Chain A
Amino acid sequence: MRWQLLIERLRIPLMLFPSLAVLVVLFGGGMLFGVGQSFGYFPIIGLTDLTFQYYIDVLTDPNFFLSLWLTFRIAFISTFLSCVFAIGFAMVLRHQFRGSQLFTFIFQIPIPIPHLVAASGIVLLVTQSGVLSRISVELGLTQVPRDFPVMVFDRNGIAMILTYLWKEVPFIGIVVLAVLQGVGPQYEEIAQTLGANRWQRFRFVLLPLILPGVLSTSIIVFAYVFANYEIPLLLGVRHPTTLPVLAFENYQDPDLSLRPQAMAVSVILAVLAIGLLVTYKRLARLAVNR
């Protein structure tokens, strides 16, 4: 009898164990090395004493806050716009109409396409000598590449944001769509009979239903954009650039003594991301439960 109770008590930990083991041992263990390096533990080049020096160097660099602001701005704008567009598109696609399944499929195409491939595609499109520019020349609006508006390698990060939007809107959109399609029209119909207008129906009936899904996906999207270096490296300006790019360049530098700094920046990024996301989740929960 005793061992049956034991198994009962162990059941849940056992179920959780494999996943946690993989993440804690493999990922957590890996993180330890990175964190250790950020504190100066780097035996290969002879550094073994732990120190806060690298963090101090990073935080006192004038470029740091400039880059941090840029990183946050891009992540925030991309996430916010993605949510808005995703909700909008899902609202349109949720009805059954001729071809709706096909259009829903087309809507999902960006999901399996890697970000780098998407970025290449966007570049081909919006660069000053790209497809859109050539169409503009055909139409007689511009003549040389320089006439066309700057959308890539620019301070505003337009191409970057477009790439993130292209990838993330379908991701968030599908989640919202699934909820909307699962809900059915009855709640809205009731609300309508009670005299609610379209906006009120959306705000008080649909929005609370889709908010949890939007919350989780937007957390994932924000975390991804916040930490991503490939897209800003490929599509952005050299200075100021985002924090992940700074970290990456320090990491790639043949001068190995810059690595601890790269790690310090990355750890700061991780801490900030977790902080921002926990706060966001708390706030969103409060808003929903109001």
Chain B
Amino acid sequence: MNKKLFSVLLIAVLIVSAFSTGMAQDGELLGEVPGYESWADVLAAVEGTTVNFFMWGGSDTINSNVDADIGDPVLEQYGITLNRVPIADTSDAINKVLDEAAANVEEGTIDLIWLNGENFRTLKDAELLYGPWSESIPNAQYVDWEDPALAFDFGTPVEGYESPWGHAQFVMEFNTALVGDEAPSTFEDLQAWIHENPGLFTYPSVPDFTGSVFIRHVFYWVAGGPEPFLGEFDQAVFDEYAPAVWEYLNDIEADLWRGGETYPATASVMDNLIANQEIAFHMAYGPNHAATNILEGIYPDTIRTFVFDTGTISNNNFVAIPFNAPNAAGAMVVANYMLSEEYQAEMTNPESWGWLSPISPVVYSEEFQATVGAYERPESVLAPEVLNAAALPEPSAAWVTAMEAGWTENVLEN
């Protein structure tokens, strides 16, 4: 390269960087992301582009909220058009990525997927994710990556391949009209209640998410805590506790809804069962699930929630970027916005989204803490202190598989 060309290039670079630094500065990259040198580069690349966000489309409130509280701001602030693609099940998007991978499609159709747990593991293990990126985006500074519930997604190390969105904690729901004001909060009491009131309790069948986690709670109770299940899968340990679990579940089976002849295929089926007094108890991964349903008229207002004395499992859900996303930069900007103070305030507002956050409020400004502190909690939602005190971690994925298979063999198939 001769000297003249070199100087021209140098000047060009300087001019370009001078212009770049004039653009919207939302912070700096904290680490590396594939394909981009700086956050400014990322922002420059996304102006006027579209992000295809594949997420479950079965809730009109979530749909409208995403469009209004994420779609509108990213358009205004970054020029990104958020194309929310509704799907009936996350696996629809996973299958699409798998198919595209099998056909060696380098530029696919999906930019961002809402997922967690096993769906994340499927894509990560098959090396079909873009990244690592999530620890490097500017707002990742708010995320406590040391927290095992964020560093591991059902035991799969996140390692920067997905970014947190919402936080969930398992709660039990009950109809005060049928159960009274106090619900049985230990497994022993619950068992007694079921025997005295046959036909009013059930739980979703595996492989439903919620049914699966209920079984995990029984394991934790039998073992006296989550510790045995947090590490590598150990068949001997499993065999030590499993018989007691099956015994408990088989013992209550005859007095379950439908005499235990069948279990609801999904948790959503149970929403209407409890609303219509076919059952008295329900369970959900969202402490606000009952409140939202009451607000939407799906539940009568006699529904309340409780957690087990032995604690309940909490986890997080995330967004991830497929390896062949046509607009990975845009996806990162959207994910980054989801961690912003502005959005988190809206997300945790019970009158808006009513979601729990994976981020502790103290990392944000004083203003933020004051705002969210003032939110009024609906009666059917438990206080954060109660929830936090009861929070338990998820076991690693291998345990989940064993528990689910064990249940199918020992309880479902009798």
Interface residues of A (CB under 8 A from B): 43-45, 63, 127-129, 144-146, 150, 153-155, 233-234, 237-239, 249, 252-256
Contacts and interface: CB of A to CB of B under 8 A. Distances in A.
A129 B278 contact: yes
B199 to A, nearest CB: 5
A69 B122 CA distance: 33
A233 to B, nearest CB: 6
Nearest to A254: B118
B102 A233 contact: no
B20 interface: no
Nearest to B117: A254
A129 B277 contact: yes
Contacts of A233: 265
B277 A145 contact: yes
A253 B207 contact: yes
A89 B372 CA distance: 64
21 contacts: A44-B102, A44-B126, A63-B413, A127-B278, A145-B278, A146-B278, A154-B262, A155-B261, A233-B265, A237-B261, A237-B262, A238-B265, A239-B262, A239-B412, A239-B413, A252-B89, A252-B207, A254-B118, A254-B121, A254-B122, A255-B401
A253 B397 CA distance: 13
B265 A254 contact: no
Given A129-B273, A150-B258, A239-B413, A256 B265 contact: no
B265 A252 contact: no
A44 B122 contact: no
Contacts, number: 60
B102 A43 contact: yes
Nearest to A232: B265
B161 to A, nearest CB: 15
B278 A128 contact: yes
Contacts of A237: 261-262
Contacts of A155: 261-262
B214 interface: no
Contacts of A154: 261-262
Interface of B: 89, 91, 94, 98, 101-102, 117-119, 121-122, 126, 199, 205, 207, 258, 261-265, 272-273, 276-278, 401, 408, 412-413
A220 B400 CA distance: 41
A29 to B, nearest CB: 12
Nearest to A259: B98
Contacts of B89: 252
Contacts of B263: 238
Contacts of A129: 272-273, 276-278
A146 B258 CA distance: 8
A130 to B, nearest CB: 8
B387 to A, nearest CB: 28
B291 to A, nearest CB: 22
A272 B261 CA distance: 29
Nearest to A239: B412
Contact of B258 (A153, A234, A256): A153
A238 B202 CA distance: 13
B320 to A, nearest CB: 14
A44 B265 contact: no
Given A233-B265, A238-B205, A238-B263, A256 B277 contact: no
B126 A45 contact: yes
Contacts of A144: 277
A35 to B, nearest CB: 15
Contacts of B258: 150, 153
Closest 3 CB pairs of A and B: A129-B276, A254-B118, A237-B262
A146 B276 contact: no
Contacts of A63: 413
A210 to B, nearest CB: 39
A127 B102 CA distance: 43
Contacts of A254: 91, 94, 117-119, 121-122
Nearest to A146: B199
A237 B94 CA distance: 27
Nearest to B263: A238
Given A43-B102, A237-B261, 13 more contacts: A127-B272, A129-B273, A144-B277, A145-B276, A145-B277, A146-B199, A150-B258, A238-B265, A249-B207, A252-B91, A254-B117, A255-B401, A256-B122
A70 to B, nearest CB: 13
A265 B118 CA distance: 23
Contacts of A150: 258
A156 to B, nearest CB: 11
Given A129-B276, A238-B412, A239-B412, A153 B101 contact: no
A106 to B, nearest CB: 29
Contacts of B118: 254-255
B67 to A, nearest CB: 25
Contacts of A252: 89, 91, 207
Contacts of B98: 44, 256
Nearest to B275: A129
Nearest to B102: A44
Nearest to B121: A254
B199 A234 contact: no
Nearest to B259: A150
Task: Give the interface centre of B262, B263, B264 by most chain A CB atoms within 10 Å.
Answer: B262
Contacts of B413: 63, 239
A123 to B, nearest CB: 9
A238 B265 CA distance: 7
Contacts of B102: 43-44
B72 to A, nearest CB: 32
Contacts of A256: 98, 122, 126
Contacts of A255: 118, 122, 401
Contacts of A238: 205, 262-263, 265, 412
Contacts of B276: 129, 145
